[in-house]
Chain A
């Protein structure tokens, strides 16, 4: 589901295609196909056997273009746009092209230096590419061999600023110029009909051509000390190097490419017979340079890659879910253990209590409930209106002219209750918050009284009512007395009606008044 570690690496030259199958970084097998119809068919059959294997395509061709460009420094989409535009200008007709970032200028503008590379003619690849398309092979990318050979220079730590790497490959002599290790130019010369005795001369001629080209392109100056690197596959390399050094006066150095091949995990024998397999091995090792293939060619791979990534995310999501659930379940398990421990402790406490409780007197309910029931019974006030009546009677002794018409007596904890209010049932005593200081019940009385034999003397009536209220206040059991209604309302805020002949008329308006009396609670009385 997530893809295998197999890789199919192809190297296309103008004459043939070498296909190597890697498992991880280990070459399993390789096969060479020539540029003719029979081998195209064989290649298709070969591909059909490895349909799901990712394919890396390396090109070693004569038809390569290189151009160094300095672009204004940009980033993100602006950079992508400017590079795409420049690439179109560089090689409009080529399908395979790429911009290889080199470095940033150190001058004032600090431009970005790019090497634009392209295959100017890809007709030689057409047959192979048709097979790849037909089989819907996941093509990862198309790469140039000289770009891969950069890895050789880097890994062999060849530090000279001007290097001309001369590789003898199946396709011919590949000369690659590198400035400070960076690719600047490469050219391939086929080595057809070159006899071993003529090798040194062939090298001399081709190197001179390359040097002149570099001079013409101003990539080097006449006095630039160019260092030649000859990867030695056999003993002829030393002779060639010696010959070039003597005849051209160029520093020429041989490097043992077979040891490098061994270190790169590929057999020396296969490199001797097919040197490009070393570059293919470097690709297999994960040294992937810039891709020249357009997006439509790598779409199959990209879709496959996208599928693989989605599957990977799905697995990660599932694993995260399992992990989070695992953590939760573990915490729940720990909690469950705590519950069991707590239950055991509780049972122990209860057992100990049961042991102790065996010595208790037999009781229908637990001790705290016994106490609560008794306290509730005690809290229910056994008061009667007797006390209020006694207070009123005592006050009436000093005010014989007053007659009581109505007494409304109540026990409530709402001291501001009004006479017109509903009874204290439910909406006062029951709704008060338990435990508040107002929770103690108090005796409150509303007294409606009148002045006996009232003859219209309002001044005397007011004095009588006031005296009666004062008599009540004087009682030590009384906390508060409030005159709610006077015998006559002399307030400027109310209407006052009457007749000057009131004193002589038989029917007079009665002089009634109303008081509110609040008795002290038993607690406050006892404190006093």
Chain B
């Protein structure tokens, strides 16, 4: 059966109707599928939250013990400045204090911009955000004990930090004479000044 133009005119509306029906059916099914997928994703999220809530409740006894055990230390770290904003002024003041205390030669310092940090040696940071500022200390020394005193005193009076690297050099062929008040050695150290952000404060960053 060959179709003429007149026949096609007759078929025009049914074909158009079929096209519209296919589009409408496709759109409807697609919309329904998207809605279903959205609901399924919402369910997964809610199930995750429920599991967390259940686990939290189930471990509530243990949590109480945890709070009792760790709260004093946490408060100490909070007071020390390990948690919260870096206290750079205090740090520099302590550095100056140690410098004066041990009659050290001049100490050059530089503190870099704070950045997010995810070190491999910290497995579980909880909800905390870990930040670090890379600090460089350069100092001339009478002997190597100056560096040890400096770092140990800083450890005692400042929040925990990581001395990542130190390079101590002596001019080739020169002999160390600790009785003369001259700089026999040079030291350059890189320190990771690590601080934690409170989870709630961290959201704003």
Which residues of A does B touch, CB under 8 Å?
Answer: 295, 299, 302-304, 306-307, 310-311, 313-315, 317-318, 320-322, 324-326, 328-329, 331-332, 335-336, 338-339, 342-343, 345-346, 349-350, 352-353, 356-357, 359-361, 363-377, 379-386, 389, 403-413, 423-425, 429-436, 438-441, 450, 510, 512
Tell me which residues across on chain B come within 8 A of A345, comparing CB atoms. 50, 54
Extra inter-chain contacts (12) besides given A317-B21, A369-B128, A430-B120, CB under 8 Å: A302-B1, A307-B11, A314-B20, A320-B25, A342-B47, A356-B60, A372-B127, A374-B77, A406-B167, A410-B165, A425-B134, A429-B164
B124 touches A375 (CB 8 A): yes
A384 touches B163 (CB 8 A): yes
A60 to B168 Cα, complex, angstroms = 123
B46 touches A342 (CB 8 A): yes
Task: Please tell me if B14 contacts chain A, counting CB pairs below 8 Å.
Answer: yes
1/0 contact string of B40-73 vs chain A (CB within 8 Å): 1011001101100110110011111011111101
A433 to B118 Cα, complex, angstroms = 10
B21 to chain A, nearest CB (A): 4
Q: Which residue of A lies closest to B25 (CB)?
A: A321
Task: Please tell me if B39 contacts chain A, counting CB pairs below 8 Å.
Answer: yes
1/0 contact string of B141-156 vs chain A (CB within 8 Å): 0001001100110010
B63 touches A431 (CB 8 A): no
B144 touches A365 (CB 8 A): no
A412 to B194 Cα, complex, angstroms = 16
Task: Please tell me if B204 contacts chain A, counting CB pairs below 8 Å.
Answer: no
User: Which of A302, A303, A314 is in CB contact (< 8 Å) with B18?
Assistant: A314
Main secondary structure of the interface of B (DSSP, over half): helix
A317 to B15 Cα, complex, angstroms = 13
A512 touches B172 (CB 8 A): yes
Q: Which residue of A lies closest to B77 (CB)?
A: A377
Task: Please tell me if B107 contacts chain A, counting CB pairs below 8 Å.
Answer: no
Tell me which residues across on chain A come within 8 A of B39, comparing CB atoms. 332, 335-336, 339
Between-chain CB contacts (< 8 Å), 8 pairs: A325-B29, A332-B32, A356-B64, A363-B74, A372-B127, A384-B163, A423-B164, A425-B134
Contacts A317-B18, A356-B60 hold; do A439 and B82 have CB atoms under 8 A apart? no
B56 to chain A, nearest CB (A): 5
Q: Which residue of A lies closest to B8 (CB)?
A: A303
User: Which of A370, A406, A408 is in CB contact (< 8 Å) with B67?
Assistant: A370
Task: Please tell me if B83 contacts chain A, counting CB pairs below 8 Å.
Answer: yes
A439 to chain B, nearest CB (A): 5
A322 touches B122 (CB 8 A): no
User: Which of B1, B26, B120 is in CB contact (< 8 Å) with A413?
Assistant: B120
Which chain B residues (60-102) contact chain A, with CB distance < 8 Å? 60-64, 66-71, 73-74, 77-78, 82-83
Tell me which residues across on chain A come within 8 A of B151, comparing CB atoms. 384-385
A317 to B196 Cα, complex, angstroms = 60
Q: Which residue of B lies closest to A310 (CB)?
A: B14
A401 to B29 Cα, complex, angstroms = 87
Contacts A332-B36, A345-B50, A431-B120 hold; do A357 and B155 have CB atoms under 8 A apart? no
- Ranked 4 nearest A-B pairs via Cβ: A321-B25, A372-B126, A432-B120, A328-B32
Q: Which residue of B lies closest to A347 (CB)?
A: B53
A384 to B126 Cα, complex, angstroms = 28
Contacts A328-B32, A359-B64, A439-B121 hold; do A385 and B166 have CB atoms under 8 A apart? yes
Task: Please tell me if B113 contacts chain A, counting CB pairs below 8 Å.
Answer: no
Tell me which residues across on chain A come within 8 A of B82, comparing CB atoms. 373, 377
A374 touches B134 (CB 8 A): no
Tell me which residues across on chain A come within 8 A of B171, comparing CB atoms. 405
B170 touches A406 (CB 8 A): yes
A373 touches B199 (CB 8 A): no
B43 touches A335 (CB 8 A): yes
Q: Which residue of A lies closest to B53 (CB)?
A: A349
A31 to B133 Cα, complex, angstroms = 105
